[in-house]
Amino acid sequence: MQNTTAHKVFHLKNGLRQTVTNLLNRHCWQIIKLINGPVKPYFGPTCSERIVRYHCNYGLDVANKTSQTDKLRRMDLKLKEDKVPVFQPKHAVILTKMTRYEYERKICHGMSDTEFREYLDSKDSDYLGLLERHRNHYAALEIVQKELIKANIETRIVHRFDLNQSVVDWADVVFTAGGDGTYLLAANKFINTSKPLIGINTDPERSEGHLCLPKNDYAAPKFGNALKRLLAGEFGWKWRQRIEVTMSGRHINDDPVELHDQQLIFPEHRFTEHIAEDEEVRLLRQSAPEKMQFPSRKLPCLALNEVFVGESLSARVSYYEITTDTTPKEKQKSSGVTICTGTGSSSWHFHINQLSLDSVEKILDIANQVSGSSFPVRDKEMTEKVMDTFNKTLRFDPSDPLMAYTIRDPVRNAVYKAEHTGGFSKKLTIRSRMWDACLVIDGGMSFKFNDGAIATFQIAENNALRTVTFD
C-alpha cells in the first residue's frame, strides 16, 4: 500500500515538474515580446529579458527541487544594482601610470642629471616638456587622492609593479590615474571580482582616454565633481564584456611576457628569444613523435580590448587555420588576426577597418563606371555621410556578448582564397602554423603561440568588468 502511494506521488511530482517546464518554455518568449514589443536584432539580452529569464529560472528550480538559492540571490542583487546603483567604498586604490619621464629615467638608471639631459637631446626628446608633464601628472594625482580622503575613503597609491591580487582584494574600488593604457593594465588584475574599475584622465590635453570618465567634465582636475555624483548614486553600472582564451600547446604553462615591462628590464634582449625559440622548435621536431597531445588551460588574464594573434615580427607572414561559429575551417596567410570586444571595437579594430573619404570617393567612382550610375562623387557632404555611416557599423556596445574579428592584410591567390576576412562571432578557434608567433592580450600580455598550438576565444560573461557611466 505504501509503495503504491509513493509510486503515485512520484508520478504526480514528475507530472507537475513537466507541466511547469512546458508552460515556461512555451510562454517565456511571448512574455518577452509583450514587454519589449516586436523582436529587434540585438546581440545581448535586454533588461526585461533578464528579468523574465530570472523568474523562469526560479520557476524551473522550484519545479525540479534544485538548490539554486545562491544563484538567484546573485541575480536578484545584480538586477537591483542595475536599477539603484550604490557607491559607498571604504577603501580605494589609485593605480598611477608611469610617466614618460619616469620611463626614460628607469632605462637610463645610473646617469647623472646632465648625462640624462644630453641623452634625451641626442634623440630630439624635449627634456623640459617631459619634466613638465611628469609634474602635471603628479599634481593631478594629488587632487584625486585629496578628494577621496576628504570623503573619508582610505586611499592607497600604487604603481603598476605593485598592483597585485592582495591589493585588489583590499580595495572596494580601484581608480586608474593616467589614460587607457593604465586602465588596461589594471583590468588584467580583475579576475573573478565584481569590484568597480574607474578611469581618471590625468592628461586630458594629450590623451583621449576612451576608457576613462569623460575628460571634459570629469578629468583629474575636476575629479571632485565625479566623486560627488558617484557618492550620490547619480550614475549607472556598465558591464564591459571580456574575451576568455583557452589554449593548448607546448607553452601553455609558460609565464606570459609582459610587454610593458620587457624593455624596461631587458632593453637589449628584445629579439633574442626568437633565436632560442627557433632552435627549440627544430630540436623538438627532430625528436618528437608524429602526433603529440597537449593539455589545454584557460589563460590567466582576460582581454578587455582585443587579442592579437600573429608572427612576432610584423614583416613575417602569419600562417594559421581559423574557424568560427558561423564559418568553416580555412587556412589563411595574413599579417595576423585581431579579435575584439565591444570595448575594443572603437580602438584597433576600428582603425584597421575604417574607410577614409578618399576610399569612399574611389569606390563610388568605380561603381559609376561599372554600373552606369551617377553617384555624386564630388559631393563632399554625401561622401562624408557614406563614410560615417559605414564607420559607425564597426562599433558595438561593450556589454554585448559578442566578438568582432579582422584578418589583417589577407593573402589572396590561387591557393589561399581568404573567403572570410572579418565579421562577428561568439566562438572562434585558431590553430597556429607559425614558428615564432605570439598571442597578445590587450597589447600587454604575450604568450607563445607556435606550430600546433590551438586557441579558442569566447566571451566570458561571468567575468564582465564592472565600470560606471554618467550617460
Cell numbers 604568450: residue:
447
Q: Which residues pair with residue 333 across a beta bridge? A: 319
Which is nearest to 338 in space by CA: 326, 325, 322, 327? 322
293 band by pLDDT with thresholds 50, 70 and 90: low
- Residue with the larger pLDDT of the pair 32 and 360: 360
Task: Give, in words, the CATH class of 243-354+394-463.
Answer: mainly beta
Distance in angstroms (rounded) separating the CA atoms of residues 201 and 214: 8
The DSSP code sequence of 135-188 is HHHHHHHHHHHHHHHHTT-EEEEE-GGG--HHHHHH-SEEEEEESHHHHHHHHT
3-state secondary structure of 385: helix
Residue 330 carries which DSSP code? E
Residue 30 carries which DSSP code? H
Of 43-47, 138-142, 258-262, 448-452, the poorest mean pLDDT is in 43-47
Average pLDDT over residues 95-102: 95
Tally helices (H) and strands (E) across the chain.
Answer: 15, 19
Average pLDDT over residues 430-439: 95
273 band by pLDDT with thresholds 50, 70 and 90: very low
Tally of CB atoms within 10 A around 310: 25
- 91-234 in CATH: which number? 3.40.50.10330
Helix (H) or strand (E) run with residue 243 in it: strand 243-248
- High-pLDDT (> 70) share of the chain, %: 73
Q: What mean pLDDT value characterizes the chain?
A: 81
Distance in angstroms (rounded) separating the CA atoms of residues 465 and 188: 10
The pTM (predicted TM-score) of the whole model is 0.75
341-388 residue pLDDT tens: 999 999 999 999 999 999 999 999 999 999 998 999 999 999 999 999
139 band by pLDDT with thresholds 50, 70 and 90: very high
- Strand runs labelled E in 262-329: 296-298, 306-311, 318-324
Q: What is the pLDDT of residue 292?
A: 57
Q: What is the pLDDT of residue 22?
A: 42
CA dihedral 159, 165, 169, 173 (to 10 degrees): 40
206-255 residue pLDDT tens: 988 999 999 999 999 999 999 999 999 999 999 999 999 999 877 666 66
- Residue with the larger pLDDT of the pair 67 and 119: 119
Largest distance between two CA atoms of the chain? 100
- C-alpha angle 140-146-151 in degrees, rounded to nearest 5: 135
300-327 residue pLDDT tens: 899 999 999 999 998 999 999 999 999 9
Distance in angstroms (rounded) separating the CA atoms of residues 70 and 68: 6
Q: What is the pLDDT of residue 359?
A: 95
Of 68-72, 103-107, 178-182, the poorest mean pLDDT is in 68-72
Q: What is the pLDDT of residue 258?
A: 67
Statement: residue 197 has pLDDT above 50: yes
Q: What is the pLDDT of residue 19?
A: 41
Average pLDDT over residues 154-160: 95
444 band by pLDDT with thresholds 50, 70 and 90: confident
Statement: residue 398 has pLDDT above 80: yes
Statement: residue 277 has pLDDT above 50: no
Tally of CB atoms within 10 A around 263: 14
Statement: residue 270 has pLDDT above 50: no
- Residue with the larger pLDDT of the pair 14 and 191: 191
Cell numbers 570629469: residue:
218
Distance in angstroms (rounded) separating the CA atoms of residues 385 and 389: 6
167-184 residue pLDDT tens: 999 999 999 999 999 999
- Topology alike, domains 91-234 and 243-354+394-463: no
Query: In residues, how long is the chain?
Result: 471
The dihedral built from the CA positions of residue 365, 369, 371 and 375, taken in this order, carries a sign that is positive
- Residue with the larger pLDDT of the pair 345 and 52: 345
Are 463 and 244 spatial neighbours (Cβ–Cβ below 8 Å)?
A: yes
199 band by pLDDT with thresholds 50, 70 and 90: very high
The dihedral built from the CA positions of residue 264, 266, 268 and 269, taken in this order, carries a sign that is negative
Statement: residue 79 has pLDDT above 70: no
Cell numbers 540571490: residue:
73
Distance in angstroms (rounded) separating the CA atoms of residues 287 and 295: 20
Statement: residue 195 has pLDDT above 80: yes
* Domain range list for the chain: 2-83, 91-234, 243-354+394-463, 355-391
271 band by pLDDT with thresholds 50, 70 and 90: very low
Contacts 24+ apart (CB under 8 A), 346-349: 346/210, 346/395, 347/180, 347/210, 347/305, 347/306, 348/305, 348/306, 348/308, 349/306, 349/394, 349/404, 349/406
Cell numbers 510562454: residue:
27
Q: What is the pLDDT of residue 261?
A: 55
Contacts 24+ apart (CB under 8 A), 125-129: none
Q: What is the pLDDT of residue 291?
A: 53
Average pLDDT over residues 184-196: 88
